[in-house]
Amino acid sequence: MAKINDFNFAGKKAIVRVDFNVPLDENGNITDDTRIRGALPTLKKILEDGGSLILMSHMGKPKGKVNEKLSLSQIREAVAKALGRDVKFAPDCANAHEAAKDLKPCEVLLLENLRFYPEEEGKPVGIDKADPAYDEAKKEMKERQKEFAKTLASYADVYVNDAFGTAHRRHASTAVVADYFNEDSKMLGYLMEKEVQAVDNILKDIKRPFTAIMGGSKVSTKIGIIENLMDKVDNLILCGGMTYTFAKAMGGNIGNSICENDKLDLALDIMKKAKEKGVNLVLGTDCVAGNDFSNDSETQICSVMDIPEGWEGMDAGPASREAFKAVIVPAKTILWNGPAGVFEFDKFTAGSRAIADAIVEATNNGAFSLVGGGDSVACVNKFGLADSVSYVSTGGGALLEAIEGKTLPGVAAIEGK
- Closest approach, Cβ 357 to ligand AMP, in A, equals 18
Cis peptide bond prior to 91, omega within 30° of 0: no
344 makes contact with ligand AMP (CB under 6 A): yes
Distance of CA 363 to the CA centre of its chain: 21
241 makes contact with ligand AMP (CB under 6 A): yes
- Closest approach, Cβ 289 to ligand AMP, in A, equals 9
Query: Interface with ligand AMP by CB under 6 A: which range of 16-24, 93-101, 211-219, 260-268?
Result: 211-219
Q: Is 397 noted as a catalytic residue in this protein? A: yes
Q: Is 38 noted as a catalytic residue in this protein? A: no
Q: Is 278 noted as a catalytic residue in this protein? A: no
Among 313, 317, 372, 409, binds ligand AMP (CB under 6 A): 313
Distance CA 283, CA 146 (A): 48
Query: Interface with ligand AMP by CB under 6 A: which range of 15-23, 93-101, 200-208, 333-341?
Result: 333-341
Choice between 149 and 247, CB closer to ligand AMP: 247
Please give the residues from 283 up to 312 whose contact with ligand AMP meets the rule CB under 6 A. Answer: none
Among 38, 124, 189, 216, binds ligand AMP (CB under 6 A): 216
Distance CA 411, CA 417 (A): 8
395 makes contact with ligand AMP (CB under 6 A): no
Edge-first strand listing for the sheet containing 235-238:
280-283, 235-238, 210-214, 333-337, 368-371, 391-392
Choice between 32 and 344, CB closer to ligand AMP: 344
Choice between 306 and 344, CB closer to ligand AMP: 344
Choice between 122 and 373, CB closer to ligand AMP: 373
Q: Please work out the total of residues on this chain that contact ligand AMP, with binding judged by CB under 6 A.
A: 16
Q: Give, for 237, the enclosing helix (H) or strand (E).
A: strand 235-238
- Closest approach, Cβ 346 to ligand AMP, in A, equals 12
Q: Which of 144, 273, 396, 397 is catalytic?
A: 397
Q: Which of 144, 146, 374, 406 is catalytic?
A: 374
361 makes contact with ligand AMP (CB under 6 A): no
Query: Interface with ligand AMP by CB under 6 A: which range of 34-42, 216-224, 278-286, 405-413?
Result: 216-224
Task: Find the DSSP H helices in 250-313.
Answer: 264-277
- 85-99: buried (b, 16+ CB within 10 Å) or exposed (e) per residue? eebbbbeebbebeeb
- Closest approach, Cβ 287 to ligand AMP, in A, equals 7
C-beta atoms surrounding 357 within 10 Å: 17
Q: Is 254 left (phi over 0), alpha (psi -120 to 50) or beta?
A: alpha
Among 30, 103, 167, 258, binds ligand AMP (CB under 6 A): 258
Q: Kind of pairing, strands 333-337 and 312-316?
A: unpaired
Query: Interface with ligand AMP by CB under 6 A: which range of 95-103, 202-210, 264-272, 340-348?
Result: 340-348
3-class secondary structure, 207: coil
- HSE of 144, CA atoms in CB hemisphere, 13 A: 17
Query: Interface with ligand AMP by CB under 6 A: which range of 15-23, 44-52, 210-218, 358-366?
Result: 210-218
Choice between 339 and 410, CB closer to ligand AMP: 339
C-beta atoms surrounding 311 within 10 Å: 21
Among 76, 144, 150, 218, binds ligand AMP (CB under 6 A): 218
**CA distances for 169 relative to 160, 225, 408, angstroms:** 16, 18, 7
Q: Give helix 76-83 / helix 34-49 axis angle, nearest 10°.
A: 50
Give the residue closest to ligand AMP by C-beta. 216
> In degrees rounded to 5, what are phi and psi of residue 14?
-110, 125
Please give the residues from 8 up to 67 whose contact with ligand AMP meets the rule CB under 6 A. Answer: none
Closest to 77 in 3D by CA, of 120, 40, 124, 29 = 29
Q: Is 69 noted as a catalytic residue in this protein? A: no
Per DSSP, 408 falls in state: P
Among 62, 118, 252, 339, binds ligand AMP (CB under 6 A): 339
Secondary structure tally for the chain: helices H, strands E = 14, 15
> Where on the chain is the footprint of ligand AMP (CB under 6 A)?
216-218, 221, 240-241, 258, 313-314, 338-339, 341-342, 344, 373, 375
Catalytic positions: 35, 218, 374, 397
